[in-house]
Amino acid sequence: MLKRMVMIILLGGFGIMMLTACNKKSSKEFIEGKAAELSKVYPTEDLQDLFEKFPDGLYIQSDDLYDYKEGEGYSFQSIKLKVDSKTKSITGTILWKKVTIDDKKKKHTEVLYEGEVIYQNGTIQLKDSTANVNIKHPTLLLQKFIINKESLSSLKMELKTYSYETGSADISYFITDSVLNNYMEVDQNTQLKMVIYIRKNTLENKSFSYTVDIRHGQNSHAEIIIGGKVNDVQ
């Protein structure tokens, strides 16, 4: 009987500890605090400065959905970069496609260009200099935009969520910012929405993995950053 009571007390205590930990991870203070750790890379004017911060390398993906027209379609451009800290190189690929919607609401995708890119002289450039292709954003938002504790705390939060199933979290804000508005090519007084997604391993301090998603209606710009633990290099 005594043994059973001890087991019940231990299980109850463990349950309370787990509930407390989950409640902490779902709090605005905790989620916003983890989002603010993006200050370690936002901004990084020269992407080569990331070599020292991420000795094991870094993956960056930049996705643009733009020129959206209801019932007609949109353009999509995706750049995937490998930041190789050992070879001190930043190279990757670009995919540009056009999506159209016909009268029967069926989507049709046309690949306009697919090739390789390289980062040099502060911008992302096509390896094939003869290609007649415009890169939507030859510089990343990461190179221009400031994210830190002060900037996030000054914004109007829309909502925050924590998934008990996946262990990931996200937080969204309404924002009007000259850098963002210029980047998204909208009027200076236009209100945008910024969503920051934080993966489980990042919440547990095991990696540095985020998505920063800027939205204006159906148009959007998202940057995915995946790396190991970041070195505290100023």
pLDDT of res. 23: 58
Of 140, 203, 149, 179, which is closest to residue 40 (Cα–Cα)?
Answer: 149
Spatial distance between the Cα atoms of 75 and 203, rounded to a whole number of angstroms: 33
Query: Angle 31-35-121 (CA atoms, 0-180°, nearest 5)?
Result: 170
Q: Which of 206, 219, 217, 194 is nearest to 42 (CA)?
A: 194
Over the chain (234 residues), the average pLDDT of each successive run of 10 is: 54 47 78 97 98 96 98 97 96 98 94 98 96 96 98 97 96 98 98 98 95 98 88 53
Domain boundaries, the chain: 30-45+144-223, 51-142
Q: What is the pLDDT of residue 6?
A: 44
Please, which residues have CB within 8 angstroms of residue 230's CB and are 6 or more apart in sequence?
40, 41, 53, 54, 208
Identify the pLDDT of residue 5.
56
| Residue 137: φ, ψ to 5° | -135, 95
Contact between 213 and 145 under an 8 Å Cβ cutoff? The reply is no
- Helix crossing, 2-25 with 28-36: angle to 10°? 50
Give the pTM. 0.88
Q: What is the DSSP letter of 136?
A: S
pLDDT of amino acid 233: 47
92: buried, middle or exposed (CB in 10 Å: 19+, 13-18, 0-12)? Answer: buried
